Amino acid sequence: MIKLTFDFPPVAQARPRATRFGRGIRLYDLKQVHAYKAQLAESARFMYHGKPLSGPLIVTIKFYRAVQQSETKKRHRLKAQGTIRPTKKPDLDNYIKSTLDGLNGVLWVDDNEIVGLHTGKYYSDHPRIEIEVEELK
């Protein structure tokens, strides 16, 4: 089992942008999303020195976002404790997409080998991403 913690806030996958390229069209990620995926891959390579896993995988991801500074002290405490969970944008599936894509070729060969996925969004005073990857035997 691989357990990694990335000490930076998660970034949600945005819709790809398009630009004309000769007679065709090229799709690309926004700079913020591209930088997040690159930072995620670089950090994972630094922490995990093995070969990318292949075969059926179970992945657990917890996304911790910052508590808004405009909150009252009481609501801030409730959010930081996990009593109140994020129900606003960005969507959980967009966090998942950017994170799984960023770790392709580093933790796993391709994210199509993930057969089970457990995720959640949380508030924290310490924004981060926690990932566990387990190979099925």
pLDDT of residue 86: 92
- Omega into 90 within 30° of 0, i.e. cis? yes
Mean pLDDT value of segment 61-75 = 92
Mean pLDDT value of segment 94-108 = 95
Q: Report the distance separating Cα 21 and Cα 132, nearest Å.
A: 39
DSSP 105: T
pLDDT of residue 124: 94
Residue 24 has pLDDT above 90, yes or no: no
- What single string gives the DSSP state of each residue in 30-65? -HHHHHHHHHHHHHHHHH--SPPB-SSEEEEEEEEE
Q: For residue 95, name the pLDDT band (cuts at 50, 70, 90).
A: very high
Q: For residue 112, name the pLDDT band (cuts at 50, 70, 90).
A: very high
Q: For residue 137, name the pLDDT band (cuts at 50, 70, 90).
A: confident
Write down the pTM of the prediction.
0.89
Q: Report the distance separating Cα 93 and Cα 123, nearest Å.
A: 17
Residue 15 has pLDDT above 80, yes or no: no
Strand, helix or coil at 116? strand
Residue 25 has pLDDT above 90, yes or no: no
Mean pLDDT value of segment 24-50 = 89
Q: For residue 21, name the pLDDT band (cuts at 50, 70, 90).
A: confident
